[in-house]
Amino acid sequence: MTELRKPPVSEKGEIPVFGPGAAPLIDSNQAAQFLGVHPRTLQRMVLRGEIAAVKVGKLWRFVPSAIQEWVAQHSIAS
């Protein structure tokens, strides 16, 4: 018999972006507060393609891990 295995995502120990067990999305106010910018500035960054976001109706939602990745990529290495 073949051995049943967990999907690769669980093997990496990562939290899935969407679906069961995924981290909840955060709104633009929460993401802007985390980044230390005004929510409108964050929305402009999304429209320029600088930060990934999902538009749900009229509202922007952000994946927390994507915000953290953006900060890591734009941090000044010491």
**Residue of 55, 67, 70, 64 lying closest to 15 (CA atoms):** 64
**Cα–chain-centroid distance for residue 14?**
13
Which pLDDT score, from 0 to 100, does residue 76 have?
Answer: 74
Say if residue 12's pLDDT is above 60.
Answer: no
Contact 13, 21 (CB under 8 A): no
Q: Check: CB of residue 38 under 8 Å from CB of residue 48.
A: no
0.75 surpassed by pTM: no
Give the tens place of pLDDT for each residue, 26-74.
Answer: 999 999 999 999 999 999 999 999 998 989 899 999 988 889 888 888 8
DSSP label at residue 22: P
